[in-house]
Amino acid sequence: MSLAFTLAVRGLTLLGVLVLVLLLVVVVLGATGFSDRMLTAIVNEELRGIREGMARTIHDPDQLEAAVKARRQELVDFYGLNKPWYTRLPDMVKRVVTLDLGEARNLRSFKGSPKVASLIMERLPYTVLLLTTATLITTVIGLVVGVKLATQVGTFLDRGVSYLSAVSYALPAWWAGILLIVLLAFDLHLLPAGGLHSTPPPQGGLLRFLDLLYHAILPITTLVLVSLGAWIYTVRTMVLNTAQEFFVTVARAKGLPESRVMRRYILRVAAPPILTNVVLGLAASLGGAILTETVFNWPGMGRLYYEAIMTADESVIVALTFMFTLLYVAARFLLEVLYVVLDPRIRYT
Amino acid sequence: MRDAWRVLLDTGSGRVGVAFLAILVLVSLFVVVRLPLDFGSTRWNNPAVWADNPKSAPPAWWAWFRPGKTVPHAVFQSSGPASGGLEQTYAFSYALKGDTPPSFMAFSLSDVRFSDRPPVVSMEVRRADGKSVVLLRQVVRGPRPGEQPPYVRYQDTPLRLNLSGENDVLANVGGWFQDEFGVNVAPDELQGKLEAAVFGVPTPGQPGEFQPLRGDYQFVVRAAMGNPSDSVGNVKVVMGGTVYGVMGTDALGRDLALGLLFGFPVALVIGLSTSLLSTTLGTFLGILSGYMGGKTDIAIQRFSDIWSNIPLLPILVFLIFVLGQKLWLVVLMMILFGWPGLAIVVRSMVLQMRSGQLVEATQALGASRMRIMFRHILFQIAPFVFAQMIFFTPAAILAEAGLSFLGLGDPSIPTWGQILESGFRTGAVYVGYWWWVLPPGLLIVATAMTFVLLTLGLEPVVNPRLRSMR
């Protein structure tokens, strides 16, 4: 009962986030006249197809114009363009949610489609690949080093990491990325500066995949470097806090081996808050991905954001804002579920 | 308060933070006093201001690491209008010390007044080997039909000639080489090599190649007037350098030192105004939520829960894109989205305090709710709130830099993020223009670090238990 209730409350909150963002987007679009322009673009696009179809059956130009004009009126009625923007809110929300936002102005998907939905769906996996890999690597290194550091509090290394964590708060990942590009790609010619594949891309599945990995090294390294300091420090502090609890002292007093105390007594208890930070970090890096992907010309949703800004493509920007929020909310909900699984205290209160 | 100051200065990070902050504030004050506030629109984004600067030039001190391979930027200007006499002569001395000729030569003329015949302006170079070459002979545009004397030319926009690109100049120099050295150089061949030719001698056996000729040069500008009362305002000769200023220039020739300097007050204003206002909002709502309890509490907490979970950067990108690229909008959005975290923490602190003796005692004394909340409770949590404010300051600076980097910066106000963005967009990153990419990033990091260090230094103030541990 209480377990379902906790999850439901968190789920509702996150749903609230999604609804609020949607409302914000739709109201801002409507009030500034952006939605009118987007819908007009969709109407014009449909009319172009209709005109071509009609031109085949109607040969008199005047008649054709009249027919097209009548069709335009129908479409304007259908999309509600002749009514004030707030009456269209529900329809607009539906469009955003289903990514039914017409065609991008200049941007094309890899296959050449201008549909906003296919553009975004195509880019999504690359963002997910980049972020999950980087988070995974950071987490593993952070856990290993952080736990180790917790046993060496006050040493030179320990102080160094605590300063590193302060620096990583102040260091923008995208600027660090630029530095790495200048240093590793252009001075030392070690790694490619950006992109997804070499030109020309190597043939064959495995080679192609390895080429992709080769190009992913630099962006992933950047993401790991800028978050690692803070992450190690978090793990260290959490392990340290738990290690001062009485039950740990008791376990040691019972003569249990230190490795067992660490795994079964300290880490098991420290796991939920550590996990919280992993998923929070993942969620936070979503926003950062916009900048990192831009720097490395990594064709994920973040780079698409940059391209959409550069070409002033409002439908793509709206769709991406929604997608980023959706991903964020999904990551947060995953966290809540995992938290409940990992922390028995939540289940039994 | 004095106590807090002493504790802050006791810690190493606090001292460094205070020193950095002092530098930031001093530089900002200097900039606000010395640079016009509309610097961005009237100067930074006005290409005419930077026309005479070399493009993408490294800083002048870079010359120390590249002896002989660089040439400093040199600007010669006549002092004020000269009149009287039928011929005006201006002479400027120039010494070529290294092996590199100037990167370009430019000539500007402004405010010419004449009454019947237009003046003829010429420019001649007296070379280190004693020879003289006439680069340019320019007749000021004559009277238009119906125009009444005195005729005024180039008053608002000076006549600016980039000598390296003028076909007349190429032809003049080509002909001169034919006469003096007997080598045949076609004007086309001089394209892009004009400076090497004017400041050099032909390499024997290699037609079209020139060896630098070091020594003292003189530029002589003559204005031949038709009437003694005619006048020439300002004459300017520029020998473009391959290095420029303290911080170099960008691809438009803009002096990066000025842009970077202007970024100081902008960054401080963004950071401090955002953190001050969003901390105020967060504290106010947090205290209200914690002390009032009941429906107010639930409403504020539910709302902060939702509001704090909105991913900031995507929403900022969307709002700034739709509402317009204005700096005050960025600040406003950061304030509106920045408060919930603090409101949640402050509430939990107030909850503890509400059941404490201090609040109980003041309640017994008949203090009003307002007085308890915003006098007694607020003063109790003030150190914590202040530290939070300092800690939150870099967030706004970093967010603005990120937005600017995505091309959503306010075009009328140059910031460090925008300088980085133009460097990235024009590919400076990929050709190794380090002076364009490193300093703005370093300044962003240093500014953010200042506030992180201050927060670290303030920790013992907020958490007195840490004081003895030092």
Cα B266 to the center of its chain, rounded Å: 11
| In a domain? residue B158 | yes
Interface contact B321-A309, CB threshold 8 A: yes
Are B230 and B115 in contact, with CB atoms under 8 Å apart? Answer: yes
Residue B26: pLDDT above 90?
yes
CA of B407 to nearest chain A CA: how many angstroms apart? 7
Of A20 and A190, the one with more pLDDT: A20
Are B272 and B370 in contact, with CB atoms under 8 Å apart? Answer: no
Interface contact B311-A324, CB threshold 8 A: yes
Share of chain B above pLDDT 90, in %: 19
Instruction: Specify the pLDDT at position A78.
Output: 80
Q: Is residue B444 less than 8 Å (CB to CB) from chain A?
A: yes
Of B108 and A285, the one with more pLDDT: B108
Confidence band, pLDDT 50/70/90 cuts, at residue B62:
confident
- B39 with B147, same domain: the answer is no
Instruction: Specify the pLDDT at position B80.
Output: 58
Which domain covers residue B326, as residue numbers?
A: 2-44+255-469
B122 φψ region: left (φ > 0), alpha (ψ -120 to 50), beta (else) = beta
Confidence band, pLDDT 50/70/90 cuts, at residue B280:
very high
Cα distance between residue A319 and residue A321, in whole Å: 6
Q: Which residues does residue B107 pair with via DSSP β-bridges, in sequence order?
A: B161, B237
Confidence band, pLDDT 50/70/90 cuts, at residue B19:
very high
Cα distance between residue B327 and residue B331, in whole Å: 6
Cα distance between residue A175 and residue B416, in whole Å: 11
Residue A341: pLDDT above 70?
yes
Confidence band, pLDDT 50/70/90 cuts, at residue B82:
low
Interface contact B314-A287, CB threshold 8 A: yes
Instruction: Specify the pLDDT at position B470.
Output: 36
Mean pLDDT calculated for residue range A295-308: 87
Confidence band, pLDDT 50/70/90 cuts, at residue A121:
confident
Q: Chain A partners of B317 at a C-beta cutoff of 8 Å?
A: 290, 305, 309, 317, 321
Are B436 and B248 in contact, with CB atoms under 8 Å apart? Answer: yes
Residue A104: pLDDT above 80?
no
Interface contact A290-B317, CB threshold 8 A: yes
Q: Which two tokens stand for residue B228?
A: 């003694």
- B205 with B180, same domain: the answer is yes
Q: Is residue B452 less than 8 Å (CB to CB) from chain A?
A: yes
CA of A181 to nearest chain B CA: how many angstroms apart? 8
Of A21, A175, A317, the CB nearest to B420: A175
Q: What is the CATH number of the domain that holds B199?
A: 2.60.120
Amino acid at B51: A
How, if at all, do strands B132-139 and B120-126 pair?
antiparallel
Of B307, B311, B452, the CB nearest to A328: B311
- Chain A residue at shortest CA distance from B404: A291
DSSP assignment, residue A115? B
Interface contact A174-B402, CB threshold 8 A: yes
Q: Chain B partners of A310 at a C-beta cutoff of 8 Å?
A: 407
- Chain A residue at shortest CA distance from B401: A172
Residue with token string 């736990």: A147
Residue B355: pLDDT above 90?
no
Q: Best residue in B13, B20, B302, B321 to probe A by mutation, most A CBs within 10 Å?
A: B321
Are A82 and A76 in contact, with CB atoms under 8 Å apart? Answer: yes
| In a domain? residue B62 | no
Mean pLDDT calculated for residue range A59-67: 81
Could you tell me how many residues make up chain A?
349
Tell which of B204, B239, B274 closes a domain.
B239
Domain count within chain B: 2
Instruction: Specify the pLDDT at position A84.
Output: 79
Amino acid at A334: L
Share of chain B above pLDDT 70, in %: 96
- Chain B residue at shortest CA distance from A29: B322
Instruction: Specify the pLDDT at position B30.
Output: 94
- B152 with B229, same domain: the answer is yes
Interface contact B437-A332, CB threshold 8 A: no
Q: Which residues does residue B285 pair with via DSSP β-bridges, in sequence order?
A: none
Cα distance between residue B181 and residue B183, in whole Å: 5
Residue B14: pLDDT above 80?
yes
Q: With H, G, I as helix, E, B as strand and everything else as coil, classify residue A107.
A: coil
- B384 with B447, same domain: the answer is yes
Q: What is the dihedral angle through the alpha carbons of B18, B22, B25, B27, rounded to the nearest 10 degrees?
A: -140
Confidence band, pLDDT 50/70/90 cuts, at residue A332:
confident
| In a domain? residue B54 | no
Handedness of CA B397, B398, B401, B407 (dihedral sign): negative
H/E element holding B161? strand B159-162
Question: Where are any strands of DSSP class E within B249-357?
Answer: none
Tell which of B192, B211, B239 closes a domain.
B239
Instruction: Specify the pLDDT at position A347.
Output: 63
Confidence band, pLDDT 50/70/90 cuts, at residue B367:
confident
| In a domain? residue B58 | no
Confidence band, pLDDT 50/70/90 cuts, at residue B469:
very low
Share of chain A above pLDDT 70, in %: 97
Q: Which two tokens stand for residue A241?
A: 């806090």
- B316 with B210, same domain: the answer is no
Q: Which two tokens stand for residue A55?
A: 């031109």
Interface contact A172-B441, CB threshold 8 A: yes
Mean pLDDT calculated for residue range B258-264: 93
Instruction: Specify the pLDDT at position A179.
Output: 87
Cα A344 to the center of its chain, rounded Å: 30
How does pLDDT run across B227-259, given as a tens digit for each residue?
777 888 888 888 888 888 889 898 888 999 999
How does pLDDT run across B323-340, given as a tens digit for each residue?
888 899 999 999 999 898
Are B56 and B251 in contact, with CB atoms under 8 Å apart? Answer: yes
Interface contact B441-A179, CB threshold 8 A: yes
Of B394, B405, B408, the CB nearest to A170: B394
Q: Which two tokens stand for residue A233?
A: 């420090």
Residue B353: pLDDT above 60?
yes
Q: What is the CATH number of the domain that holds B354?
A: 1.10.3720.10
- B298 with B220, same domain: the answer is no
- Chain A residue at shortest CA distance from B446: A170
Instruction: Specify the pLDDT at position A348.
Output: 57
Q: Which two tokens stand for residue A197?
A: 């594949």
- Chain A residue at shortest CA distance from B320: A309
DSSP labels, B398-467: HHHHHHIIIIIS-TTS--HHHHHHHHHHTTGGGGT-HHHHHHHHHHHHHHHHHHHHHHHHHHHHHSGGGG
Q: Is residue B420 less than 8 Å (CB to CB) from chain A?
A: yes
Instruction: Specify the pLDDT at position A346.
Output: 63
Instruction: Specify the pLDDT at position B71.
Output: 85
- Chain B residue at shortest CA distance from A320: B314
Cα distance between residue B371 and residue B366, in whole Å: 10
Residue A69: pLDDT above 50?
yes
Confidence band, pLDDT 50/70/90 cuts, at residue A88:
confident
| In a domain? residue B367 | yes
- B411 with B300, same domain: the answer is yes
Residues 6+ apart with CB under 8 A from B405: A174, A291, A294, B417, B420, B421, B424
Cα distance between residue B367 and residue B361, in whole Å: 9
H/E element holding A136? helix A116-150
Tell me phi and psi for residue B457, to 5 degrees: -65, -30
Cα distance between residue A271 and residue A269, in whole Å: 5
- B139 with B201, same domain: the answer is yes
DSSP labels, B341-386: HHHHHHHHHHHHHHTSHHHHHHHHTT--HHHIIIIIIHHHHHHHHH
How does pLDDT run across B130-181, given as a tens digit for each residue?
888 888 888 888 888 888 878 888 888 888 888 887 888 888 888 888 888 8
| In a domain? residue B167 | yes
Q: Is residue B16 less than 8 Å (CB to CB) from chain A?
A: no
Of A21, A34, A329, the CB nearest to B315: A21
Q: Which of A236-245, A324-333, B176-185, B389-398 has the lowest mean pLDDT?
A: B176-185
Instruction: Specify the pLDDT at position B28.
Output: 94
| In a domain? residue B64 | no
- B282 with B338, same domain: the answer is yes
How does pLDDT run across B435-461, given as a tens digit for each residue?
898 999 999 999 999 998 898 888 777
- B235 with B259, same domain: the answer is no
Could you tell me how many residues make up chain B?
470
How does pLDDT run across A185-239, given as a tens digit for each residue?
777 877 777 777 777 777 777 887 788 888 888 889 888 888 888 888 888 888 8
Residues 6+ apart with CB under 8 A from B153: B111, B112, B113, B114, B118, B140, B141, B159
What is the CB-side half-sphere exposure of residue B83 using CA atoms within 13 A? 13
Amino acid at B129: D
Q: Which two tokens stand for residue B28?
A: 């900002």
Cα B36 to the center of its chain, rounded Å: 12
Instruction: Specify the pLDDT at position B420.
Output: 92
Residue in B155, B126, B305 with CA at minimum distance from that of residue B215? B126
* Count of beta carbons in the 10 Å neighbourhood of residue B225: 23
Residue in A328, A145, A121, A119 with CA at minimum distance from that of residue A233? A145
Residue B215: pLDDT above 90?
no
| In a domain? residue B67 | no
Residue B322: pLDDT above 80?
yes
Are A161 and A236 in contact, with CB atoms under 8 Å apart? Answer: yes
Residue B198: pLDDT above 60?
yes
Interface of B with A in 297-326 (CB under 8 A): 302, 305-307, 309-315, 317-319, 321-323
- B133 with B33, same domain: the answer is no
* Mean pLDDT, rounded, of chain B: 85
Alpha helices by DSSP H, listed for B182-245, are 187-190, 194-198
Instruction: Specify the pLDDT at position A72.
Output: 84
- B266 with B235, same domain: the answer is no
Are B50 and B253 in contact, with CB atoms under 8 Å apart? Answer: yes
CA distances to A1, A14, A97, A330, B375 from A11, rounded to whole Å, are 15, 5, 18, 10, 38
Tell which of B239, B272, B287 closes a domain.
B239
- Residue B150, preceding bond cis, omega within 30 degrees? yes
